[in-house]
Structure 1
Amino acid sequence: MAGGGGGGAAPKHDDFTPHPVKDQLPGVSYCITSPPPWRNLYLPHAVHMLKSIFDRFAVLFTIPIVWLYAYLLTVGGAYRNAPPKTQFHCRTDRSGLIGGAPWIRVPYPFQWGAPTFDAGEAFAMMAASFVALVESTGAFIAVSRYASATPIPPSVLSRGIGWQGIGILLDGLFGTGNGSSVSVENAGLLALTRVGSRRVVQISAGFMIFFSILGKFGAVFASIPAPIFAAMYCIFFAYAGSAGIGFLQFCNLNTFRTKFILGFSVFMGLSVPQYFNEYTSIAGYGPVHTHSRWFNDIVNVIFSSKAFVAGFVAYLLDNTIDRHEASVRRDRGYHWWDKFRSYRTDTRSEEFYSLPFNLNKFFPSV
């Protein structure tokens, strides 16, 4: 303690001076002078969302764009001096479809008069229905494959063919001019969109029934140029065909038996119908030309179907060549399908194939 006088003044401390901000946070200058990384934050999510949208609605986006382009070419006179065949396929105003169609037209049974019966035509339509049955079976299998359902039991296939027969009967009553068949394009569309909900099919059917009354609406769709449909078919049929090829994974493709059956059936399925179609286009009648017109129609219609010829040849060879050998059954892949030969064997079949609106009570699948 210092003596004398007043107490000594307290020592004076220097003012607190913090370190510069850049020394405390070396990266702060980057945050101040650079914008936030919006691209890295939001762009991946936006791309993922847009990808799912374009996957689901690819057809709805592409058709209007190309259709509008064809309309602009038509209005601009691009097809004015084109050959008639080009104008027929590419113009959007051909034959006055939209202008000549009525606004409202309600279809009703026998609108074209009383039905007539001809034995020859009946046999020809039976042959066409049989061919449609074979092609529809392939479409059923493709749809079940892309919808991630269990393999279709035979009873469900029979039920689907029966409903198809009811559709053909309604076609005859309303005079549509063509029969009903399973749309292979819809199987490809299911694979493209990956939407296998029954609700979508039910809503689509309701829209089609409602808009069938509006004649202008149907005429607008009829004005879509044929090349647009051809482009869609290239995609849809590719998916439908790949579904059938995918089933070959259950077969033993290393055996010469399987290779011969596969190659020969595909070759005959492409060449025989091509011969029948070219012969008919040149001669005006099919290769089978006898005095019985109904017999000619049956044979020519059946062998003009690529799916039927290929399937028939493959079925015939697969059930005749070395069928009773022990190793052939495994090479054919039959052991994979044993548990799906009955509707009640797999409990998931009820979930996938039961009819809506409690119709299973009247149309059971057993």
Structure 2
Amino acid sequence: MRRKNVNEANVADNVSEDDADIRNGMLYSVEDTPPWYLCILLGFQHYLTAVGALISVPILLSSHFCMDRDKVGLSELIGTIFFVSGLATLLQTTFGVRLPIVQGGTFSFVAPTIAIMAQWGCPYTEARDKYGESVNFTALGLPEVGSEEHRDIWMERIREIQGAIIVSSVFQVVIGFSGLMGFVLRFIGPLAITPTISLIGLSLFKTGADMASTQWWIAITTIFLITIFSQYLRDVNVPWFTFGRGGCQRRGLPIFILFPVLLAMGISWGICAVLTVTDVLPSNATEWGHVARTDIEEDVLQKSQWFRFPYPGQWGLPTVSAASVFGMLAGVLASMIESVGDYYACARLSGAPPPPTHAVNRGIGIEGIGCILAGAWGSGNGTTSYSENIGAIGVTKVGSVRVVQVGGIVMLLLGCFGKFGALFATIPAPVVGGMFMVTFGMVTAVGLSNLQYVDLNSSRNIFILGLSLFFGLSAPFWVANNPTAIDTGSTVADQIFSVLLSTSMFVGGFIGFVLDNTIPGTPKERGLLDWRKLSTGTAESQNTRMHIYDLPLIQPYLDNISCLKYMPFCPNFMNKGDKYQKKEENGVEMNGDNIKSGIDNTAIVLDDEHELNAHL
């Protein structure tokens, strides 16, 4: 911890009481470094908090990649997304926004991926739909599931997604490092964001329902347990002993609100194991409920490698098509906007000042680089900021960046442990289906929560919201049932329009964006006043702790390069708040009213604290 000088002490006195209260309430704030053993334990806790969302993305996409029941391949995909998420977390916390924020797979990329893969089709899925679960693939001329020929089929599809993610993420890098994010957000309000995010969850209802319907009672048990743990027992703390600055202390651990998904899935998994041993679940593959048995894929742990190091191009050289890139751009834009809100919420809950302009720009740019790395490694998905872990910071009162960095290292190491990914690949389908029913519902609800900023008594807003949601569901349904209806005379154009119109989040978000910016309405009616406070309240809150967002090691050298003040991602970037910083540097005391005003402008992020906890 660095020492405050006299000027800094004067400035600190002017910081709002709310900001001071949050810092005082933290066990470890952003700048603190807990003892090494606590860093390991707390870092592993962050990993456990994120693991439910991390494994859900590859499990969800595996069937669309035509993996069928190649659980060894799925375990390798899970290991890859663990590895890439750890790498992206270390980059973000070290060179990006420099807040304790975990990076991981995102559902924003799921809808475009499914739309792209729909153009490819999957012979294994078609065969199962036609001949049932006991179909003999080799008799139909298809390679055996898990064979090298079958692996070539699904690896070819992942390479297409890799190329789309890499190219479209370049757009995010440019938006971030060029400082264009603030300009883009000027035209995007709640009525464009609500259908975009809500339709991510709504469009996935069939996937969740299909997996849950394989054994509804197991799925309902999983839903019931998640509900009990996350809602009814969220205020119940389990006695626990901790070691901190005051020595050994007895305190309550909010285990139910921290790990409701993991606990529920673990218990349901155990129930499936008991029902398997007692032969309550049918052993005949054609009977309903068979896939809930835990002995179906028990050979996965034997076939998977103990150690497998993911590497770029492990599935082959990525391929690029215009249709896939344009389709993936919708997911990139939605991920960027969601992350901006996460930055402010994370700063508030971790006891840090609101992130300045350069930190937000750098954070978006580094997320783009993280997505490019995810595409190069072949996780089948991109990376984004995890709201679940931000909510965990508010609960545990541990906002140390070092802890999250340790969590990133844990993800890196476990991503190389092949048996670990294989263990998650054996989770019974109805258990995953029950988890999907809850998580997809939460994604939908989080999107709808953005309506808190708009006037819902306005017929204008009701019209925009209703049309964008309904058409966002209708257009993809029509394209799916009329795959040859789009005929522009150009094969490339047909593919682009087919992918875009098959992506519900793009259709709904685009309609909401166009109507919200063309139909007359006051800024207050449209919800732009409060929304812009959330998304653009940047560096106007200058105080003594802004050095948190400086780049490590090289910052003193960057300060001596005057031209860097024109670089939107550098800490000495000139912005509206810099005039106050200039006065402080010249020995002039900063205006306390200006400081308080800046903080109050971003304090609206606190309203989203309940929304973040709802992710858990």
Shorter-chain-normalised TM-score: which range?
0.5 to 0.7
Contact residue 55 and residue 193 of structure 1 kept, 8 A: no
Give the equivalent residue in structure 1 for 2:180.
none
Is 1:231 equivalent to 2:448 in the alignment? no
Alignment partner for residue 345 of structure 1, among 534, 540, 546? 540
Is 1:364 equivalent to 2:570 in the alignment? yes
Is 1:308 equivalent to 2:474 in the alignment? no
CA deviation digits over 1:187-240, x for unaligned, max 9?
357558855845564333222210121111110011112332332333334444
CA deviation digits over 1:264-298, x for unaligned, max 9?
1121222223333x42xxx6x46535664433332
Call closer, same or farther: CA 1:62–1:342 in 2, change over 3 Å. Answer: closer
Aligned residue for 2:462, secondary structure, equals helix
Is 1:322 equivalent to 2:520 in the alignment? yes
Alignment partner for residue 187 of structure 1, among 387, 390, 393? 387
Give the equivalent residue in structure 1 for 2:300.
97
Contact residue 486 and residue 498 of structure 2 kept, 8 A: yes
Please state how far the C-alpha of 1:66 moved relative to its aligned partner: 1.0
Contact residue 70 and residue 91 of structure 1 kept, 8 A: yes
Contact residue 301 and residue 423 of structure 2 kept, 8 A: yes
Q: What is the identity, as a one-letter code, of the residue corresponding to 2:335?
A: S
Contact residue 123 and residue 298 of structure 1 kept, 8 A: yes
Q: Using the alignment, how far apart are the partners of 1:300 and 1:201 within structure 2?
A: 40
Question: Whose RCO is larger (CA < 8 A, sep 6+)?
Answer: 2
TM-score (norm 1): 0.67
Please state how far the C-alpha of 1:355 moved relative to its aligned partner: 7.3
Please state how far the C-alpha of 1:73 moved relative to its aligned partner: 2.8
Give the equivalent residue in structure 2 for 1:20.
none
Alignment partner for residue 451 of structure 2, among 248, 269, 294? 248
Give the equivalent residue in structure 2 for 1:132.
331
Contact residue 357 and residue 539 of structure 2 kept, 8 A: no
Q: Using the alignment, how far apart are the partners of 2:343 and 2:473 within structure 1?
A: 26
After TM superposition, the structure 1 stretch with the greater mean CA deviation from structure 2, 142-151 or 232-241, is 142-151
Aligned residue for 1:98, secondary structure, equals helix
Contact residue 74 and residue 91 of structure 1 kept, 8 A: yes
Call closer, same or farther: CA 1:209–1:71 in 2, change over 3 Å. Answer: same
Q: What is the identity, as a one-letter code, of the residue corresponding to 1:333?
A: G
Aligned residue for 1:102, secondary structure, equals coil
Call closer, same or farther: CA 1:355–1:269 in 2, change over 3 Å. Answer: farther
Please state how far the C-alpha of 1:122 moved relative to its aligned partner: 2.9
Q: Using the alignment, how far apart are the partners of 1:82 and 1:48 within structure 2?
A: 42
Alignment partner for residue 163 of structure 1, among 356, 359, 366? 366
Q: Using the alignment, how far apart are the partners of 2:495 and 2:419 within structure 1?
A: 36
Residues matched between the structures, number: 304
After TM superposition, the structure 1 stretch with the greater mean CA deviation from structure 2, 296-305 or 307-316, is 296-305
Q: Using the alignment, how far apart are the partners of 1:92 and 1:352 within structure 2?
A: 54
Q: What is the identity, as a one-letter code, of the residue corresponding to 2:387?
A: A
Give the equivalent residue in structure 2 for 1:29.
none
Aligned residue for 1:94, secondary structure, equals coil
Please state how far the C-alpha of 1:305 moved relative to its aligned partner: 2.4
User: Which segments of 5 or more consecutive residues in structure 1 lack a partner in the other structure?
Assistant: 1-46
Call closer, same or farther: CA 1:177–1:188 in 2, change over 3 Å. Answer: closer
Equivalent residues in 2 for 1:172-321, closer than 5 Å: 172-174=375-377, 176=378, 178-182=380-384, 186-187=386-387, 191=391, 194-195=394-395, 197=399, 201-276=404-479, 278-279=480-481, 285=483, 287-288=485-486, 292-321=490-519
Q: Using the alignment, how far apart are the partners of 2:422 and 2:394 within structure 1?
A: 29
Aligned residue for 2:254, secondary structure, equals helix
Report the aligned-residue RMSD.
Answer: 3.9
CA deviation digits over 1:65-108, x for unaligned, max 9?
11112223334442311428854565454273211101112223
Alignment partner for residue 83 of structure 1, among 280, 283, 286? 286
Call closer, same or farther: CA 1:156–1:83 in 2, change over 3 Å. Answer: farther
Contact residue 79 and residue 91 of structure 1 kept, 8 A: no
Q: Using the alignment, how far apart are the partners of 1:97 and 1:265 within structure 2?
A: 44
Call closer, same or farther: CA 1:80–1:268 in 2, change over 3 Å. Answer: same
Please state how far the C-alpha of 1:256 moved relative to its aligned partner: 1.0
Alignment partner for residue 107 of structure 1, among 301, 310, 319? 310
Q: Using the alignment, how far apart are the partners of 1:295 and 1:123 within structure 2?
A: 9
Contact residue 236 and residue 256 of structure 2 kept, 8 A: no
Give the equivalent residue in structure 1 for 2:276.
74
User: Which segments of 5 or more consecutive residues in structure 2 lack a partner in the other structure?
Assistant: 1-234, 239-252, 559-566, 574-616
Q: Using the alignment, how far apart are the partners of 2:541 and 2:295 within structure 1?
A: 51
